[in-house]
Structure 1
Amino acid sequence: MSTLQKTRKYYKWSWDVSLGGDYDTWGCSTYFMEIDSNLYARRQIEIYENGNILFYDKSHSCDEYGMLCDKKIDDKNIEEFEISEAEFEKIWQTKTPINK
């Protein structure tokens, strides 16, 4: 395993606020993020209550629904939400996003 792979971390948390506007009916969401060694998101998954799924990464960083988080993540504030790489990859490989 490369050094870069060892420094990636994965997180999952629920967001109890809807997107609002045209997407308010989507409901609340669950976020999954892959964070690199510099504490920036590399990949992001958003799964909404109505079943809609959004994927973001460096090759598709934004669209009409939203965008890949561009802020540095303070991992001390989210360490309790850490998940395994396998859990993240399972979602990334098996779910079909509406925005790709």
Structure 2
Amino acid sequence: MPSRFFRRRWNESRGDEFDGWGHSVWYFEVGEDGWPVRQIEAYDDGPVLRYGPGHGEDQYGGLGQASLDDADEDWNSYTIARDAFERVWDSAGE
């Protein structure tokens, strides 16, 4: 199975010193095993964070440490096309 791509809005705060960034939209590329390969976190009032090969973590967070193939949560309704993910990924790297 090739990579899959997701976009999901979180209307919850971070609960840390960066809480002022507001809510966020998260984008994921996951591999065949369901684990994140690349991830973008776009905060309403803050930065856009980008994690992936060569940059797995920083002082703000890191690449997800859980499979999105969790039986307790269905991610199918959050599926997006590869090109939609790539546009955000490319713009986050600027």
Q: Does 1:72 align with 2:67?
A: yes
Counterpart in the other structure of 1:82 = 79
Distance of 1:21 and 1:42 partners within structure 2: 24
Structure 1 unpaired stretches of 5+? 1-5
Letter in 2 for 1:11: F
Structure 2 unpaired stretches of 5+? none
Distance of 1:64 and 1:94 partners within structure 2: 21
TM superposition score normalised by structure 1: 0.84
Task: State the identity %.
Answer: 29
The 5-angstrom pairing of residues 7-86 of structure 1 reads 7-74=2-69, 77-86=74-83
Higher helix share: 1
Q: Name the CA shift for 1:87/1:68 in 2 (closer, same or farther; >3 Å).
A: same
Letter in 1 for 2:52: D
> Hey, which bits of structure 1, 4+ residues long, moved more than 6 A?
none
Distance of 1:60 and 1:95 partners within structure 2: 13
TM superposition score normalised by structure 2: 0.89
Q: Cα distance, 1:29 vs. partner? A: 0.2
Q: Secondary structure at the match of 2:89?
A: helix
Q: Cα distance, 1:51 vs. partner? A: 4.0
